[in-house]
Amino acid sequence: MILTVVGARPNFVKMAPIIHEINRRGLPQVFVHTGQHYDAKMSDVFFGELGMPRPDVYLGVGSGSHAEQTARVLLAFELVLLEHRPKLVVVAGDVNATLSCALTASKLGIPVAHVESGLRSFDREMPEEINRLLTDHISDLLFVTEPQGRVNLLREGIAPEKIHMVGNTMIDSLDTHLPAALARRPWEAFGLEAGGYGLVTLHRPSNVDDEAGLREILGALETVGKRWPLLFPAHPRTAKRMADWGLQPEGLRVVEPLGYLDFLGLMAKARLVLTDSGGIQEETTALGVPCITIRENTERPVTMDEGTNQLVGTKRENIEAAAWRAESAVPSGTRPALWDGKAAVRVVDILGDWIKDLRS
């Protein structure tokens, strides 16, 4: 039996195609939601829009510090593993639940498969980077989305037979749901014209937990917002920081977090996207939409080498200059290899063979 895990909003998009494919083939599966993202706007809406089954197990770990979340998942997930005794645990991405579940399984001698392996920002101050590194080094199957991921893993001494280039399951979800997302025409709900607005996301602590840094970024967005209307579905963490510091930049329309389909539709018809998200760098590349990444590094270099992404840092003048470049340039990026909507099929092919080998 295969045990699949989701924990936070990005995981749902990565894991949904795999969960669907496992079910389509009739393989035995237990689906666990750790509850790292637990409110309706950040979690429940995704189950409905992605057509995911309800979890067999819900841990409800909730919010807290990195240590608190990790400890709660370790304790709760161990009981799940002892009850169900899976042959393989499948985790995705780089959130706290990813590492916690992989570590718990590894300690119990249960093999781990990691979806989205090998991504590296080379910035140890990012909690996600620690989660990625440790999860990869205790995993038995490592599913890679882009060539640099394989290079990184081999450089770190991971055995090549553990590494599988499968493509990007986030793009599977995007291709499946894009027609429905566009049919909703979500830009109209905000009085926007297709192709005539920018879309913004900010959530990384390094950007939003420092008042001076956040003011710098918002100042740039205020300038860009004089050229195009900017829609900002604000992460709860970011919204709280802005309220605490009285930050209300003009030209930036702050709204509550959106569901997957509305956000995907808005992203597909945006003139440009300004973000610090990893997954959005990939989605904009697949959509051919210019992306300005407000970070000093990226773990997804293929989005710059082949896609539509500009990595610009956090200084106001650099963000503004990138926006003007995006305004005048015609997007010319291409989809990377195997970002073809069939990554989950390749993943489950490998998972199925793995389970067969264990039985033989």
Q: Among residues 269, 287, 286, which one has the least CA distance to residue 199?
A: 269
Residues 297, 121: Cα–Cα separation, whole Å:
6
Which tokens hold the place of 226? Answer: 């004089």
Got the DSSP string for 314-327? S-HHHHHHHHHHHH
For 32, the enclosing helix (H) or strand (E) is strand 29-33
Residues 185, 266: Cα–Cα separation, whole Å:
8
DSSP E strand stretches across 37-124 = 57-58, 88-92, 112-117
The letter for the amino acid at 318 is N
Q: Kindly tell me the sign of the dihedral angle through the C-alpha atoms of 338, 274, 119, 239.
A: negative
Got the DSSP string for 227-289? TS-EEEE--HHHHHHHHHTT---TTEEEE----HHHHHHHHHT-SEEEE--HHHHHHHHHHT-
Residues 314, 299: Cα–Cα separation, whole Å:
16
Is 20 among the catalytic positions? no
Look at phi and psi of residue 46 and say left if phi exceeds 0, alpha if psi is from -120 to 50, else beta: alpha
Which tokens hold the place of 49? Answer: 């829009």
Q: Among residues 277, 356, 274, which one has the least CA distance to residue 321?
A: 274
Options 66, 114, 203, 235, the catalytic residue: 203
Residue 146 CB partners (closer than 8 Å, separation 6+): 118, 119, 168, 300, 301, 302, 336
| Catalytic residue annotation | 203
